[in-house]
Amino acid sequence: MEIGYLCVFPIEPLGIRRVHCCPSRSPCGDLCRSKTSPMRSSNEDLCCPQFGILSSVVTKLPDRSVREVAIIGSGMIGTSIALALRKQGILTYLCDRDPYAAAMAAARRGGVVGLPAAPVDIAVLAVPPSDIVAVLAECQAKSLAHFYTDVGSVKVAPTAEAERIGCDLTNYVGGHPMAGSARSGPLAASADLFRDRPWALTPLANTSPAAIDAVVELVVLAGAHPVMMTPSEHARAVARISHVPHLVASALAAAEPSDATARST
């Protein structure tokens, strides 16, 4: 069963079948062709259609190991993750500094409000990038979960800061689902928000295989395609993608007739 894109990261238990994707179609083709990419394991040029990062297709998942998940942050993204996981029968715990947000997420059948009595399989930090490190340190101090991930759009700085303050990065996999909405809050959440969308994962060299397996499983359960890359590769890929709307807007503006031309026609 093909479930999505995953880079050529050494995760033997997943049974990876590699596929070729033309780098020329990708905004990151130069990165795909890089001979020095730390994710390269052969001479093949492999890339993800969205990011242009070296990728493979997961054809088999190990037996389900994720059964309980704590979601810290009940905004649109956090609640959407909760709704998607609930559809798959996962027990979810909802925690937010705004009790109303957590209650609204629970009212939408996103899970139960409150922290678990025992460590869950994964804690998802659905908080702003500026809060990720502090929340990660707090959750690890409480032994909230066996593994941790986040949904922030920034990876390099939080990872460096987490390492600096002594967070355990062996059980942490940075994450960034490439999906969103113009609306915010738990009422804007959707269980199908991540369906067939790429979800960047940024494990480090010392990240445990068990942590990677668990977070990959969570992403797949949410309906997304996991794409592995380093934090630096993620920053470059996001920068390229973020420039596209500006380029389109500039092209459209250049294509429009000037006021003087419009008046003369």
Beta bridge partners of residue 120, listed in sequence order: 145
pTM of model > 0.85:
no
Domains, the chain, ranges and CATH? Answer: 68-213 (3.40.50.720)
Cα(223)–Cα(146) distance, integer angstroms: 22
Cα(94)–Cα(119) distance, integer angstroms: 14
Cα(172)–Cα(183) distance, integer angstroms: 29
Q: Which residue has the tokens 């990872």?
A: 159
**CA gyration radius, the chain:** 20
Task: Assess contact for 186 and 76: CB atoms under 8 A.
Answer: yes
In three-state secondary structure terms, 249 is helix
Along the chain (265 residues), what's the average pLDDT of each consecutive run of 10 residues? Answer: 34 32 34 32 39 41 80 97 97 96 96 96 96 97 98 92 96 91 89 93 94 96 92 79 49 54 44
In Å, how far are 17, 23, 145, 148, 203 from 138, measured between CA atoms?
38, 41, 11, 12, 20
The pLDDT assigned to 182 comes to: 74
In Å, how far are 94, 172, 173 from 161, measured between CA atoms?
26, 13, 14
